[in-house]
A = this chain, B = another copy of it.
Amino acid sequence: MERYAEKSTEELRLIYGSLLSEFEKYKSLGLSLDLSRGKPNSSQLDISEGLLSVDVSGKGAYSAAGLDCRNYGVVDGLPEAKRFFGEVYGIPEEKIIVGGNSSLQLMYDTLARAMLFGVPGSVRPWCRESGLKWICVVPGYDRHFRVTESLGFELVSVNMTPDGPDMDAVEELVRDPSVKGIWCVPKYSNPTGNTYSDEVVRRLASMRCAAPDFRIMWDNAYAVHSLEGEGDRLLDIFAEAERCGNGDRVLYFASTSKVTFPGGGVAIMAMSEENRRWALKHIGTQTIGFDKLNQLRHLKFFGTAENLMAHMSRLGSAIKAKFDIVAECLSVLSGLGIAEWTNPRGGYFVSLDVMPGTARRVFALMREAGVTLTAVGATYPYGIDPEDKNLRLAPTYPTNEELRTATEILTVAVRMAAIEKLLA
């Protein structure tokens, strides 16, 4: 394939004509497809179907220690649930708090608490400071960005590299005491799908932060979401941070939303003893306890961490088929010099960088053809992609056939938009 930039105007016009007729053909089909939603489709959910029939009546409602889980009590989670998730995530069970169904809610509440009361190490509640900033790795997860934006932080972007955040930029930023933290999806990051390298994890754990109460929001949402085999290996940030005396810096989150059901899973967080004491003091005012029966249902459904991993490998196969379709379709863009994309070994997304200045045009063309993409800019703070180039592809929700059609149209739109730009 020859790079578009090296082609003559004549050649580009010719290619555009043929792309346009292909595009018109797709348009005439009156499609309505959706590549925007990072959610499992029904057949992926069917893999967890057994959870919907789990019976926790009789002795099933009692914890191993004999606690009646139908009743009040145990604000930090059942001991066996902490042990189970400790094994699944490879973190010490004593660091874990088992919450409700939403890890986003645990993150939001943690930061809301920091605003109202400060965290261990804070001089005052964060809401009494001004000009607070938060580091957002871009492209990244819009829901994260929205939480810190709504709480009043100025969002500061740092670029994602294949190894994780650009650590030179991060280390420079944290010399400013008004920079209070960073959002991280360290494994199969949303949307690039890459995993932080050991060096990046070590630098995050050890870097010197001017804010005495700096926090890393470590959202390990895709910890067990490999497409095949063992998948990527992520360094244990707790061990690294503790070695440097920065154990309080790390706030770890995860959930079974994309393991079992987004509509009824179990979320956890994990943190140092000092952070845990702080969090539980406030959580103990906020609630008498989270849903223990759903903890029991999950424990009964999986039995062991090994079974969960086997379950994830079935899920991974189903999702890999979709990622393969995307990779195969996108390959027609290879060598044209107008697009770059990721080939993740796990997670939920493919990140596609089109020619700078054309992402919004691609989005508009796709809409014309009946395909919804994630809004351009969604992966950047304030919804603004400064280079207008990143598109987040979410392959999981459509059927394989829908996915193939949508991605084929996408490659047409990407090429059309690039030529329009080159000819402008």
Contacts and interface: CB of A to CB of B under 8 A. Distances in A.
Interface string A80-121: 000000000000000000001110110011001001100000
A288 interface: yes
Interface string A262-281: 11100000000000000000
A85 B118 CA distance: 37
Interface stretch (A56-64, A187-195, A385-393): A56-64
Interface in A37-71: 37, 39-40, 42, 45, 48-50, 52-53, 55-58, 60-61, 68-71
A47 B308 CA distance: 33
Contacts of A8: none
Contacts of A57: 49-50, 52-53
A249 interface: no
Given A39-B72, A112-B116, A150-B282, A105 B287 contact: yes
A73 interface: yes
A228 to B, nearest CB: 24
A151 interface: yes
Given A71-B40, A100-B101, A285 B108 contact: yes
A391 B162 CA distance: 64
Contacts of A58: 49, 52
Nearest to A107: B286
Interface residues of A, number: 55
A147 interface: yes
A350 interface: no
A213 interface: no
Interface string A133-159: 000000000010011001100000000
B71 A262 contact: yes
Contacts of A55: 52-53, 55
Interface of A: 37, 39-40, 42, 45, 48-50, 52-53, 55-58, 60-61, 68-73, 100-102, 104-105, 108-109, 112, 115-116, 125, 127, 143, 146-147, 150-151, 257, 261-264, 282, 285-294
26 contacts: A37-B72, A39-B71, A45-B68, A48-B70, A49-B57, A52-B58, A52-B60, A52-B293, A55-B55, A68-B263, A70-B263, A70-B264, A72-B262, A100-B290, A108-B285, A108-B286, A108-B287, A109-B109, A146-B285, A262-B289, A263-B289, A264-B291, A264-B293, A264-B294, A291-B291, A291-B294
9 shortest A-B CB distances, which residue pairs? A264-B293, A52-B57, A105-B287, A108-B286, A70-B261, A72-B262, A102-B287, A263-B292, A101-B291
